Structure 1
Amino acid sequence: MTRTRQREAGEVFGPRMTLFADVLSVGLATAVSCLPLLTAPAALSTACAVLRGATEDRPATAGRYFSVLRRRMRLGDLTAGAVALAGALLFAADLALAGAGLPGAPLFAGPAAAIGAAAGVVVLRACARPESLTAWPVALRQAARDAVQDTGGSALVLLAVATAALCAWMLVPLAFLAPGPLALALTAVDVRRTARNAVLSADAPS
C-alpha cells in the first residue's frame, strides 16, 4: 500500500492526508455498522476490502463502504457474527470465572488468554483476506495457516489491536474511529503477506 498519486496543482492536502481522512471516515462507518454486533465481522471485512481498493485507485470512502456492505450482507455473514459473538462471550465468561478465585484459576487463566489471543488473530486475519467477502470458511482456513506461517504478521495484528484498545481507553470518542486504523493495519499485514509470498515464489527454483 505504498503507491500514492502526485499532488494535483492547487491541491491543499497531499494523497497521504487524503488517505488518512478516508481511513477515519471508513472507521466511523465501520463502527456504526458494528453496532448490531452480529454484523461486526462483515463490517470489518468490508472495511479491509474498501481500503485494499485504494491501492487500485478505487475510492476508499464511507459511501463506497456502505455500498459494498449492502451488496455483500448474507446469511453467512450473520452466522459468522453469531459465532464470533458467542466465542467472545464464552471467553469473557471464562476469564470472569478465572478471576473469581476458583481453585486452579491462575493455571487456567494463562492458557485461556493464549487461546483467546490466537483465535482473535485468526478471525482478524480472516477479515483482511479477500475470501471473506464470499466465503468465511475459506478465509478462516487460510487465516489459520497465515497465523502459523507468518508469526511476524500475527504479532503486528496483536500490536494493532492493543494500540486501538489503548487509544479507545485513553479517549472514549476515539473508539468510534479506531476500526479504520485497525482495518488499515490488518489490510497492510495481508498485503505484506501477499508480497512476501510473491517474492518467495519468484526466488524458488523452477
Structure 2
Amino acid sequence: MNDMRAREPGEVFGPRMTLFADMLGVGLATTLTGLPVVTIPAALSTACAVLRGAGEGQPATAGRYFAVLRRRLRAGDLVAGAAALAGALLFLADLALARAGLPGAPLFAVVAAGIGTAALVVGLRACARPESLTDWPGALRGAARDAVADVGGSALVLLAVATAALCAWMLVPLAFLVPGPLALALTAVQVRLGAMARSVPGTRGDAGGVSGSP
C-alpha cells in the first residue's frame, strides 16, 4: 500500500487520511452487513478484499464494498458463518462448564482457551486471504499454514483483536467502526507475509499475495 498517489494541489487531506476515512466507512458497512451474525465472515472477508484493493489503486469506499459483497455473497458464505457461530457457542458453553466447578475445570479452561484462540487466529487470517471470496475451505487451509509459519503475524492478529475490543469497551460507539481497522490490520498482516515470501529465493509465495482483489 506504499504506491498510493501523491496529494493533489489544493487537496486538504493526503491519501493516507483519505484511506483512513474510507476505512471507517468500510468498517461501518461491515458492521451493518454482519448484524445477522451468520454473515460476519463474508462481511469481514469483503472488507479485507476492498482494503487490499486500495494498494492496487482501487477505491476503498463503502459503495465498492457493497458492490463486491453483492457479487460474492453465496450459500457457502452463510455456511461458513453458521459454522463460526456454532464454534463460538460451543466455546462459550465449554467455558461455562469449566466455571461450574467440575473436576479438572482449570486445566480444561486453559485447553479450551488455547483451542479457541488458535481457531480465532485461523478464522481471521482466512478472511484476509483472497481465496475467501470464492473458496472458504481453501482459505482456511492456507490460513492454518500461515498461522504456523508466521507466528509473528498471528501475534499481530491477536494484538489487533485486543486493540479493537479495548476501543469498543472504552467507547461503545466505536464498536460500529472497529471492523474497519481490524480488517486493515488483517490485510496488512497478509500483505506482510506475501512480501516476506517473495523476498526469500526459491519460495512460491503461497501467502494469498496482494493480488486477486475483485
TM-score range, shorter chain: over 0.9
Residue 202 of structure 1, CA deviation? 5.8
Distance 1:203 1:53 in 2: 24
| CA root-mean-square deviation | 1.2
1:163 corresponds to which residue?
Answer: 163
Identity across matched positions, percent: 76
Distance 2:77 2:182 in 1: 20
Report the CA distance shift for 1:203/1:133 in structure 2 as closer, same or farther (over 3 A): closer
Task: Could you list the structure 1 runs, at least 4 aligned residues long, displaced by more than 6 angstroms after superposition.
Answer: none
Distance 1:99 1:200 in 2: 47
1:110 corresponds to which residue?
Answer: 110
Distance 1:107 1:124 in 2: 26
Contact kept? 2:168, 2:175, Cα under 8 Å: yes
Distance 2:123 2:110 in 1: 20
1:11 corresponds to which residue?
Answer: 11
Structure 2 residue runs of 5 or longer lacking an equivalent are 205-214
Contact kept? 2:98, 2:105, Cα under 8 Å: yes
Residue 174 of structure 1, CA deviation? 0.6
Structure 1 residue runs of 5 or longer lacking an equivalent are none
Greater fraction of residues in helix:
1
Residue 152 of structure 1, CA deviation? 0.4
Matches within 5 A, 1:76-155: 76-155=76-155
TM (norm. structure 1) is 0.97
Residue 98 of structure 1, CA deviation? 1.1
1:39 matches 2:39: yes
Count of residue pairs the alignment pairs up: 204
Contact kept? 2:197, 2:203, Cα under 8 Å: no
2:174 corresponds to which residue?
Answer: 174
Q: Which amino acid aligns with 1:133?
A: L
Report the CA distance shift for 1:203/1:129 in structure 2 as closer, same or farther (over 3 A): closer
